[in-house]
């Protein structure tokens, strides 16, 4: 389900609508890398509460992302639980804080809301494991599988002029 018709809920003031929906999640791109949802369709709990002056939307689901590790480019799996809440005033009068961008023409855009809520919950770096060593900056080998050090430090010839100045000081 990508969107939900709010007229389907038929809520009056003081009522609440709860339902389990199936979200269709699209692949997620972060830092130029593509992460896939496994499975692509996940069960989610949708709750809509109506008051006289506003409506509150709640969405909760669990997701599993598969993609490359930020450090070693190996396979990384991230399990994350999402609990999102949005607010929509009955008469927002031009205030962006009193209306949700996910409601347009009585349609609640669940796909965009789920994607944005997921993006806010992601860690800074998606890693295959917490102690990932990454790739060797000299030879490019995965330091998790082949930990090593290079005896001779490789220097970039473009910095040789600055190196000579450093030795003079």
pLDDT in tens, 72-88: 999 999 999 999 999 98
The reply to whether 121 and 152 lie within a common domain is no
The reply to whether 125 and 156 lie within a common domain is no
Least confident of 37-41, 49-53, 97-101: 97-101
Q: Please determine, for residue 57, whether its predicted confidence score (pLDDT) is greater than 90.
A: yes
CB 55 within 8 A of CB 4: no
pLDDT of residue 20: 94
Q: What is the pTM of this model?
A: 0.79
The reply to whether 108 and 34 lie within a common domain is yes
Between 149 and 132, the more confident residue is 132
The reply to whether 55 and 113 lie within a common domain is yes
The reply to whether 17 and 70 lie within a common domain is yes
Count structural domains, the chain: 2
The reply to whether 141 and 122 lie within a common domain is no
Q: Please determine, for residue 153, whether its predicted confidence score (pLDDT) is greater than 70.
A: no
The reply to whether 84 and 112 lie within a common domain is yes
The reply to whether 110 and 74 lie within a common domain is yes
Q: H or E segment at 110?
A: helix 110-121
122 DSSP assignment: S
Across 5-24, average pLDDT: 89
Mean residue pLDDT of the chain comes to 89
The reply to whether 26 and 88 lie within a common domain is yes
The reply to whether 126 and 141 lie within a common domain is no
The reply to whether 94 and 18 lie within a common domain is yes
Contacts with 111 (C-beta within 8 Å, 6 or more apart), sequence order: 2, 3, 23, 24, 25, 26
Q: Please determine, for residue 22, whether its predicted confidence score (pLDDT) is greater than 70.
A: yes
Distance of alpha carbon 88 from alpha carbon 31, whole angstroms: 32
Between 102 and 12, the more confident residue is 102
Domain that residue 163 falls in:
135-169
The residues with which 57 forms a beta bridge, in sequence order, are 48, 86
The reply to whether 106 and 169 lie within a common domain is no
Across 8-23, average pLDDT: 90
């Amino acid at each position: 389900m990508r969107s939900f018709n709010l007229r389907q809920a038929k809520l009056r003031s003081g009522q609440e609508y709860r339902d389990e929906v199936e979200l269709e999640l699209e692949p997620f791109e972060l830092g130029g890398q593509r992460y896939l949802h496994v499975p692509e369709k996940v069960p989610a709990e949708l709750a809509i509460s109506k008051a006289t002056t506003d409506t509150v939307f709640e969405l909760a689901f669990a997701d599993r992302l598969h993609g490359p590790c930020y450090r070693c480019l190996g396979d990384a799996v991230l399990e994350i639980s999402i609990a999102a809440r949005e607010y929509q005033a009955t008469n927002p009068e031009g205030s962006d804080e009193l209306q949700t961008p996910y409601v347009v023409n009585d349609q609640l855009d669940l796909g965009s809301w789920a994607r944005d809520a997921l993006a806010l919950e992601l860690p800074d770096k998606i890693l295959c494991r917490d102690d990932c060593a990454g790739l060797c900056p000299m030879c490019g080998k995965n330091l998790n599988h082949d930990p090593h050090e290079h005896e001779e430090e490789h220097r970039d010839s473009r910095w040789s002029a600055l190196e000579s100045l450093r030795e003079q000081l």
